[in-house]
Amino acid sequence: MTSSDPGPGGQHDPAKAQETAQWWATPPTGTDPGQPVQGADPTMLNYAAGGGMAYTPPAQAVPQMPSDAGYPQQQPMTGGGYPQPMSGGYPQQQYAAPQQQYAAPQQQYAPVPPVAPAYGYAAPPPKGGNKTGWIIGGVVGLVVIVGAVIGIVALSSGSGPLNSDKKNAGKYTMDNVSNGCSVIDTSALSKFAANSKGTPEHSETKATDYSGGRFECRAGNEETTKPDKYGSTNTNTADLTLDVSFLSGTSSAYNRPEYDIWKTSDTGTTGSGRTSGDLGGIGEAGYWVSKSDDYTYFTTTDYTCAVKDDNASVKINIRTTMYKGKDVSRDDLAQVCKDQTRKALDNVKKK
């Protein structure tokens, strides 16, 4: 703010603000001395207003960057570069990002030297298209397959169990047997028990390339005892089991007649009340085994006959259970067993 000064000795009006003219404010020519100065910038010194010389600031030298300051001198940009305005007395530096060129390194591999074979093993075939190893392996595999086929053909043409022409070789066959119980007389059991238990059961297994076939029969009779003094009754029984087996091909260590297995099991067992012996007059060989067990109220007796002849094995077992008051002699059991064994062997002989 500026105002007129009444000067020395003048009266000051207390109602008016006492303003003091500032040293930088000089009224322009032709203005009322009491009018405030308008538009004066208090931050600038107005040297020209008082008739003095205009102030000119001294020129300042622009510092130069030494050439050895450690920075590379920038070259002016050409082409697509745009000039930048100067600011603060220093030139704007232009930087162009360097274009880096990368070339994928070419790797060179030296050929792998052959690996020495381990002890006892053949060296692997070299890589790179050499198929000699594959060819040799294929030839070896083919030789093995051909050898296996030749072996099977040779075995099947021999005397082993694979030969279908030999499976029915021998004097006996079961080709005409459809009911195994038909080769014996099951009514022979009536000598020990009067009444049949029912229709005998049978099973047949036909001959194959590995077996000459086999069949079985199971029959039984029973009867009721007389009442005792208390009016109680019991049942006496007589059961028969028939086994007939046929050998396929020629007998050998691996193709044994069933008779040999039966005899080893039956005669090799010992115990109280057990006896055995040879059975002659039927086939090439035979044996019998008898065993009795006495209990308080009844006695059980087992009698077995077995024979073999050529390619056939026949075995019959008769088991009786008799309560006190009725006895069965071992001789009677032996006779029935022997007769039915002979009958079975005769009925499977080739006609």
Examine residue 216 and state whether it is found in any structural domain, yes or no: yes
In a domain? residue 28: no
- Cβ neighbours for 332, distance < 8 A, ≥ 6 positions apart: 191, 192
Q: Is 295:309 a contact under the CB 8 Å cutoff? A: no
pLDDT for 197 equals 97
In a shared domain, residues 285 and 150: no
Residue bearing tokens 């994928």: 104
What pLDDT does residue 68 have?
A: 47
CA distance 150 to 140: 15
- With bands split at pLDDT 50, 70 and 90, how would you rate the model's confidence at 37? low
Residue at 244 is within a domain:
yes
Residues 6+ apart with CB under 8 A from 83: none
Name the band, by pLDDT with cuts 50, 70 and 90, for residue 27.
Answer: low
Is 330 found in the same domain as 289?
Answer: yes
In a domain, 51, yes or no: no
Into how many domains does the chain fold? Answer: 2
Look up the domain containing 136 and give its range.
130-159
Mean pLDDT along residues 256-266? 94
Of the segments 79-83, 104-108, 200-204, which one has the largest average pLDDT value? Answer: 200-204
In sequence order, what are the beta bridge partners of 314? 244, 307
Mean pLDDT to the nearest integer, 68-73 = 47
Domain CATH for 225? 3.40.1000
- Chain-wide mean pLDDT for the chain? 74
Verify that 140 and 285 share a domain, yes or no. no
Distances (CA, A) of 187 to 104, 177, 351: 104, 19, 25
| Better-scored residue on pLDDT, 94 or 175 | 175
Residue 186 has what pLDDT? 97
Q: Is 161 in contact with 255 (CB distance < 8 Å)? A: yes
336 pLDDT exceeds 90? yes
Alpha carbons 102 and 212: distance in angstroms, whole number: 87
Which stretches within the chain are classed as H helix?
A: 132-156, 258-267, 330-347
In a domain, 223, yes or no: yes
* Residue among 182, 244, 243, 183 at smallest CA distance from 212: 244
In this predicted structure, what is the pLDDT of residue 36? Answer: 55
Q: What is the pLDDT of residue 255?
A: 77
Instruction: Tell me phi and psi for residue 153, to 5 degrees.
Output: -65, -40
Q: 229 and 329: one domain?
A: yes
pLDDT at residue 191 above 80?
yes
- What does the pLDDT read at residue 272? 86
Q: Residues of the chain with pLDDT > 90: what percent?
A: 43
Residues 6+ apart with CB under 8 A from 135: none
Provide the percentage of residues in the chain whose pLDDT is more than 70. 54
- Which positions ≥6 away from 128 have C-beta within 8 Å? none
Is residue 246 helix, strand or coil?
strand
pLDDT for 7 equals 55
Residue 119 has pLDDT above 80, yes or no: no
Neighbours of 287 (CB within 10 A): 20
Classify residue 319: in a domain, yes or no: yes
Decide if 94 contacts 80 (C-beta within 8 A). Answer: no
- Beta strands 274-278 and 195-196, pairing class: unpaired
pLDDT tens for 9-21 read 555 555 555 545 5
**What is the C-alpha separation between 13 and 27, in angstroms, rounded?**
22
Query: For residue range 144-162, what is the model confidence (pLDDT) as tens digits?
Result: 786 676 655 445 444 444 4
- Does some domain include residue 272? yes
User: What was the pLDDT predicted at 172?
Assistant: 95
Do residues 208 and 134 share a domain? no
- pLDDT number for residue 145: 83
Structural domain contains residue 328: yes
Same domain, 144 and 203: no
Q: What is the pLDDT of residue 161?
A: 43
Q: What is the pTM of this model?
A: 0.54
Give the range with max mean pLDDT: 13-27, 95-109, 156-170, 277-291.
277-291
State whether 198 and 336 are in the same domain: yes
13-17, 148-152, 257-261, 343-347: least confidently modelled range: 13-17
Distance separating alpha carbons of residues 201 and 321, to the nearest angstrom? 20
Q: Tell me, what's the pLDDT at 277?
A: 96
* Between 148 and 113, the higher pLDDT residue: 148
| pLDDT recorded at residue 87 | 44
3-state class (DSSP) for residue 185: coil
